[in-house]
Structure 1
Amino acid sequence: MLKSKLNVLALLISASLLAACGDSTTNIVEKDPIPIEDDHDHDHETGAGRLVISDKDSTMLRVYNLEDGDLLGQFSSISKASALYASASQRFAMVVQRDTDKVEFIDGGLYQEDHGDHLHPYEEDPRLMSLQLSESRPTHVTTTDKQIAIFFDGNVATSSVAKVAVLNDDQINTGRNDYPVLTYSTHMHGAAQARGEMLVSTIRDAATASTLPDQVGIYHVHGDHFHLEQEFDLRCPGLHGSAQNKDYVSFGCTDGVMLLKQDGERFIASKVAHTTDFTGTMRIGTLEGAEDARHFIGFAGATVFSVNPEAGSLSKVDWQAATGASIIGYGFADHGEKFVLLDSTGALSILNYNAEATTGAAFELADKVQVTSADLTTMPTGSQLQLAISAADDKVYVADPLSKTVSTIDLEEAEVTEKQELGFVPHKLVWLGIPAGHKEH
């Protein structure tokens, strides 16, 4: 849990400089390792996890321990982070630097290993990893609990083609670059979802003016590359946004949601058309899913839809958006039982998720928390509130660039329980740790 008593300045002064790879630098607060006794009950040591927070005004990223609010380490990336994502096991932070064609990785220090009769947790200092990805314009990152797919858009100005790299946490940990890469013949603002030996990824006709693709293909891994094995005639115009669950992969189109149902190594394509709730140019351009969630959730601006792939239906979600509010953060939370929406007014809406819903709303508004009452129109240029969701418990975290704080929100109590002053303007943040479903109790 974050504590407001943290004296950031004192911690920064005590940091020691260590060497690092490339153009990056690393600073670690010197602390004795924390032993974890092998008693098969480790939640008290690593339960809350850690936050990685980037600095808006520099290339610095800081790692905080959520148990006591301690600053555990600080790292300088090659350039400023455009986005932060958690890796497949949520051990590593992926530091995406789109404008400089880089992806770096920070080890949060919390992980576990299979010791046969139990999963043994480890708690170590954070560190900057040696692995770096250097491809043109890394943009969309999607993960399962085992794989990561990073879509590089390419760049028409430099004649750089789009690529998709598929890797796992072990390759990040060991610094291996033996991950397979899908290389296109043109640039595109695409999307990809990794599914074992298969990759579901977009296809764009190089002759079209739009950078958005309108087709999807199934690729199979062959060593260090992929082969196209299935291409769908069903079109998805203006394709943007993708998600997957156990049985389906979904893509947002200007005329609905494209669904691919997996049947062995083959997929069956279908389209869920827009309902009467869609007006004008409304379209779903962002989708979110989870392995065990039967529904997807789709965003058409501030209007939210539940997508039921089995029924082939779209249902509008009533989340009581404030007039003029936009959604700036979202995701499944509390072990998949809830879905949270952070909007531009500083309100966090908490929705209960009913996986068994076949008709009507699978997502129902349960509560709303006003994280800040400040005038957010005075936010620094290029800044907005940022949301990070714990996979270990029912907490979420909101970074506020205006007040230079991070708030802890308890979803069960529906209230802000802690607020920590940072001493710098936060830009991006991500939660790292051991997911609750992966712990040994």
Structure 2
Amino acid sequence: MLQTKLSLAALLISVSLLSACGDSTTNIVGKDPIAGDDDHDHDDISTVGRLAISAKDSNLVSVYELSDGSLLDTFAVADIPSALAASPAKRYALAVQRTTDRVEFIDGGLFQEDHVDHLHDYQQAPELTSFILSDSRPTHITATDSQLALFFDGDAASSTPAAVAVITEADITTDSNGYPVLNYTLNMHGAAQARGDYLISTIRDADSATTLPDKVAVYEQHGDHYHEELVFDELCAGLHGSAQNEHFIGFGCTDGVLLIEQDGATFTASKLANTADFSGTMRIGTLVGAEHAEHFVGFAGASAFAIHAHDGEIELIDWQVAEGAALTGYGFADNGSKFVLLDNQGYLTILNYHGHEHEAAEEPAFEFAAKVQLATADVATMPEGSRFELAISASDDKVYVTNPIEQTLLTVDIADAEIVATKQLNFMPHKLVWLGIAQPAEAHDH
């Protein structure tokens, strides 16, 4: 069983650690309309969200209120997080501890419920939840707006097989252990995409000399587990990286991209080969997608490619990469109208996403808009093991970047392509993730 409970001893240790870091006394704030009173007063609920930021070489994760930059609370998880990620609805931060086989969940305190006749926003103090996933080497995390698939690689040295857990926001909130799990019989550095009752996940040959899979299968949920329904004939050698949009699921291969199209309960596969823009050992190793975006963005080193699954096209994106630049963050932003790229030279590149090519204007799908310099200090002075890190707001046109050189948090307005706020941190930042309500029921601007 993947899900574990915190022991009483662990809870007591957590309480003692947190008491040294300060406590939060924020109360739950709900918003309901008052019948017949259009001008009623109500408490503000943050529409800009919160950030969870981990400290380098530390098990501490701090949650900040973005509206005023205040520190709400700091939590001690079991070990140093190797990554931070957000739950499907952005309420919870996943503190992934890969080398110690553990994922803990921090409630950011901002969430929304559907009350049938209206959406109800809530605001409360952040807290470390009792929901924990424990299995071997949690690595790749992919999420839609309703489901999250977490791929556990397993471990060859201990003969521990891989597994995939698919959870929802409700599973975390209710501390459930009834979520479905796909259990493999051998380890692999795989990838999975959850799509309702289906899971599109990888397969590795037991005789393979690498931990990377080379095939993909469709699995259907049956209660707390999955049944294999279909293994695609198309090979995807050296498979690494996956993403999905409304109709397609993509996987990166050494020789191109494997595309799976879903039409109801029918899944079909096709292969999109690398173009002449690929040379040497270049291959797509990372894919990014969004539900309503027609294109995937694929990365081969510092080269970015627009991948149109329906039209079967791969086009090189001109993001005006600087010589020697390597990417440290990227993603769709501003409700999918833009795509941002953060590099190790201290620049944030902003692309306008048009969704498709405008033939009359010969406008590419991703068009260079601006490049924002985030650091004036010599990037060669970056502390060892650190890098610029990115978090993207799901509620507005802001992105957030940590600068370990100066121990600062930068707020960037990508509509105006400028830094609008700088916050000094009293610790060396490591990872960060945005938490909040993607579409607040009502903006509270007073």
What corresponds to 2:132 in structure 1? 132
Q: Does 1:312 align with 2:304?
A: no
Structure 2 counterpart of 1:370, which letter? Q
The 2-side partners of 1:366 and 1:30 are apart by 41
Give the 3-state SS of the residue equivalent to 1:212 in structure 2: coil
Pick closer, same or farther for the CA change 1:163–1:34 going to 2, 3 Å: closer
Map 1:201-280 → 2, pairs under 5 A = 201-280=201-280
Letter in 2 for 1:192: A
Opposite residue 331 of structure 1, the aligned amino acid is G
Q: Deviations over 1:1-51 (max 9, x none)?
A: xxxxxxxxxxxxxxxxx9963864435533342645424999963211000
Which residue, out of 410, 415, 421, partners 1:412? 415
Task: Find the aligned partners of 1:62 and 1:381 in 2 and give their Cα distance.
Answer: 22
CA contact (8 A) 1:87 1:148 kept: yes
Query: Which residue identity does 2:425 align to in structure 1?
Result: L
Q: TM-score, normalised by structure 1?
A: 0.93
Any residues of structure 2 matched to 1:383-398 within 5 Å, and which? 383-398=386-401
Partner Cα distance (1:44, 1:337) in 2: 28
Which residue is equivalent to 1:10?
none
Q: Provide the C-alpha distance between the structure 2 equivalents of 1:205 and 1:349, rounded to a whole number of angstroms.
A: 40
In structure 2, the gaps of 5 or more residues are 1-7
Q: Deviations over 1:101-154 (max 9, x none)?
A: 000000000001112221111110000010111100000000000000000000
Report if the CA contact (8 A) 1:150-1:164 is conserved. Answer: yes
User: TM-score normalized by structure 2?
Assistant: 0.92
Aligned to 1:118: 118
Equivalent position of 1:369 in the other structure = 372
Contact residue 241 and residue 251 of structure 2 kept, 8 A: yes
Aligned twin of 1:3: none
1:353 and 2:353 are equivalent in the alignment? yes
Cα separation, 2, equivalents of 1:358 and 1:405: 40
Confirm or deny that 1:399 pairs with 2:408.
Answer: no
Q: Which runs of 5+ in 1 are unaligned?
A: 1-17
Match of 2:432 among 415, 429, 434: 429
Matches of 1:372 and 1:279 in 2, distance apart? 32
**Counterpart check, 1:21 vs 2:23:** no
Contact 2:29 2:43 (C-alpha < 8 Å) held by counterparts: no
Equivalent position of 1:14 in the other structure? none
Q: Distance in 2 between matches of 1:143 and 1:396?
A: 19
Partners of 2:406 and 2:253 in 1: CA distance: 38
Partner of 2:27: 33
Classify 1:411/1:261 alpha carbon distance in 2 versus 1 (closer, same or farther; 3 Å).
Answer: same
Amino acid at match of 1:373: T
The alignment partner of 1:428 has SS state of: strand
Please list the CA deviations of residues 143-183 of structure 1 after superposition, one character each: whole Å capped at 9, or x if unmatched. Answer: 00000000000000111100000011111011111111101
Counterpart-to-counterpart distance in 1, 2:89 and 2:264: 25
| 1:56-76 residue CA offsets vs partner (Å, 9 max, x unmatched) | 031100000001111111100
In the TM superposition, what whole-angstrom CA distance separates every residue of 1:194-225 from its partner, at most 9, and x where no partner exists?
A: 00000000000111111000000000111111
The alignment-based identity, stated in percent, is 56
Equivalent residue, structure 1, for 2:3: none
SS in structure 2 of the partner of residue 170 of structure 1: helix
Distance in 2 (CA, whole Å) between partners of 1:43 and 1:396 is 26
Q: CA deviation at 1:361?
A: 2.5
Q: Count residues with an aligned counterpart.
A: 423
C-alpha distance after superposition, 1:321-358 (max 9, x if no partner): 00010011000000110000001101000000011337
Q: Which amino acid in structure 1 is aligned with residue 18 of structure 2?
A: T
Residue in 1 that maps onto 2:322: 322
Checking the alignment, whether the CA contact within 8 Å between 2:398 and 2:413 is kept in structure 1 is yes
Which digits, 9 at most, give the CA deviation of each residue in 1:364-403, with x for residues without a partner?
A: 1101100112112221211101000000100000011111
8 Å contact from structure 1 (residues 43, 439) kept in 2: no
User: What does residue 77 of structure 2 align with?
Assistant: 77
Distance 2:26 2:239 in 1: 50
Q: Distance in 2 between matches of 1:177 and 1:333?
A: 33
Equivalent-residue separation in structure 2 for 1:332 and 1:252 (angstroms): 19
Q: Does the 8 Å contact 2:29/2:45 carry over to 1?
A: no
- 1:123–1:260: structure 2 CA closer, same or farther, 3 Å change rule? same
Distance 1:19 1:356 in 2: 56
Q: From the superposition, tell whether residues 39 and 372 of structure 1 become closer, same or farther in structure 2 (CA, over 3 Å).
A: farther
Q: Aligned partners of 2:43 and 2:383: how far apart in 1? A: 38
Residues 79 and 150 of structure 1: CA distance in aligned 2, closer, same or farther (over 3 Å): same
CA distance in 2, matches of 1:224, 1:158: 25
Shift, 1:263, TM fit: 1.8
The code of the aligned residue for 2:11 comes to: C
The answer on whether the counterparts of 1:23 and 1:78 sit within 8 Å (CA) in structure 2 is no
Moved more, 228-237 or 350-359: 350-359
